Amino acid sequence: MNDKKIVFSGIQPSGNLHIGNYLGAIQRWVDNQDAYDSIFCIVDLHAITVPQDAEELRTQTRKLAGLLLACGIDPDRSVLFIQSHVTAHAELAWILNCVTPVNWLERMTQYKQKAAKQKSVSTGLLDYPVLQAADILLYDADLVPVGEDQRQHVELTRDIARRFNHLHSETFVLPEALIAKAGARIMGLDNPTSKMSKSTDTRYHGIGLLDDPDDIRATVRRAVTDSGRDIVFSADPEKAGVNNLLTIYQVFTGQSSQEIEDHFAGKGYGDLKTEVAEAAIEGLRPIQQRYNKLAEDPATIDKLLEAGAEEARRRSTPTLKRVKEHVGFIIPDS
Ligand code: ATP
Ligand code: LTN
């Protein structure tokens, strides 16, 4: 009997992965693969809630799969698959739509931010968190490891599950967000008041997982700091830039806050930037080496993803059947 807690998380193939995705989410998915029964999903259905070029989406989806494997997601220990390969996600999302009040969705911070950037807002963008709830609830997940920005969506998932359980019979497990203490919200280097994001493409905004060392040095050198000189962790908005650099250093080196502050005592922002860049370059080097090797063999990646989808179908089918029974659908024999 397998009594490990079930972990589910997803990531969009919506652009190049950055260290925020890695430090806020993926690194912990990798580290916890033995402790939990883990399922990871490349959420292409979510990606199309904003316009995507078809060829580019295909390329990004394969690239993301390669990067997740290179980061250490191990298909022998975790399930890794593409969302659109398992039709139960879209089917459950429809059923959950019918118990989710529209005003719950209109309140979502991510919706408001993303809608403000679009000329025309799709129904899918509003509905995004319902699809996310379907992802999580289909696998009876206990824990959802995400960055801080996703806390509200996991709370909404609980609300939807609770409402469904109340309107129909007890059907869903209520999941909890699992959010790291350090690294849960890496900020943009060019603007430490907004989170580092795949879909922000200003030149010195983020550090991509595949960026070469010179690009990383150039971006970190231009990172916004402040006019002071103290290199300390701080919640003061004035020091958000320095705090962000220290956080990046911390998650790459694994040192304690005290050790880091002692290390930088008496040094200047120039030294801090140099050391942060080198820590990132060293941290990313093995991932980049593994990725370059994997990218030579896309057929193997496709095969792994197909096996992952097969397993995801096997595990989600009974949940969807349970939902349909509770809603009142006739379940066909075959
Ligand atoms: P987009 O800009 O396209 O919305 P994103 O960069 O926010 O993309 P997602 O695919 O939405 O990335 O998120 C994947 C995971 O990375 C989620 O768990 C999310 O919480 C986490 N994450 C994203 N950005 C950051 C960040 N800046 N700091 C920490 N974690 C983050
Ligand atoms: N919305 C998430 C991606 C996502 C997700 C999920 C995360 C889609 N489905 C299920 C956790 C669980 C984001 O990171 N922006």
Q: What percent of the chain has pLDDT over 70?
A: 100
Q: Which domains does the chain have, with CATH numbers?
A: 6-184+297-327 (3.40.50.620), 213-292 (1.10.240.10)
- pLDDT tens digits along 38-73: 999 999 999 999 999 999 999 999 999 999 999 999
More reliable by pLDDT, 148 or 126: 126
What's the pLDDT score for residue 24?
A: 86
What's the pLDDT score for residue 21?
A: 93
CA end-to-end distance (rounded Å), the chain? 28
* Residue 44, ligand 2, Cβ within 6 A: no
What's the pLDDT score for residue 202?
A: 83
Sign of CA dihedral 224, 227, 229, 232: negative
* Residue 135, ligand 2, Cβ within 6 A: yes
Specify the ligand 1 atom closest to the Cα of 12: 10
- Between the CA of 321 and the centroid of ligand 1 the distance, in Å, is 32
The average confidence (pLDDT) of the chain is 95
Mutation test of ligand 1: which of 45, 178, 191, 197 has the most ligand atoms closer than 8 Å to its C-beta? Answer: 197
- pLDDT tens digits along 202-256: 889 999 999 999 999 999 999 999 999 999 999 999 999 999 999 999 999 999 9
Place of tokens 């289909």: 138
For residues 225 and 245, the answer to whether their CB atoms sit within 8 Å is yes
Instruction: Work out the average pLDDT over 298-304.
Output: 96
* Residue 12, ligand 2, Cβ within 6 A: yes
More reliable by pLDDT, 286 or 185: 286
Dist. CA 224–CA 244, nearest whole Å: 10
pLDDT confidence of 142, banded at 50, 70, 90? Answer: very high
Phi-psi region of 183 (alpha: psi -120 to 50; beta: other; left: phi over 0): left
Does the annotation mark 198 as catalytic?
Answer: yes
Task: Considering the candidates 112, 117, 119, 195, report the single residue annotated as catalytic.
Answer: 195
* Residue 12, ligand 1, Cβ within 6 A: yes
Does the annotation mark 114 as catalytic?
Answer: yes
Dist. CA 80–CA 43, nearest whole Å: 11
Does the annotation mark 181 as catalytic?
Answer: no
- pLDDT tens digits along 258-297: 999 999 999 999 999 999 999 999 999 999 999 999 999 9
What's the pLDDT score for residue 184?
A: 79
Exposure string (b/e) for 84-116, b if CB count within 10 Å is 16 or more? bbbebbebbbebbbebbeeeebeebeebeebbe
Q: Which ligand is nearest to the CA of 179?
A: 1
Nearest Cα residue to atom 6 of ligand 2: 10
Q: CB under 8 Å to 269, separation ≥6 — which residues?
A: 225, 229, 231, 242
Alpha carbon dihedral 132, 135, 139, 142, in 10-degree steps, equals: -20
Instruction: Work out the average pLDDT over 74-95.
Output: 98
Q: Tell me the pTM.
A: 0.93
Nearest Cα residue to atom 15 of ligand 1: 21
User: Is pLDDT above 60 for 1?
Assistant: no
User: Is pLDDT above 90 for 32?
Assistant: yes
Nearest Cα residue to atom 13 of ligand 2: 11
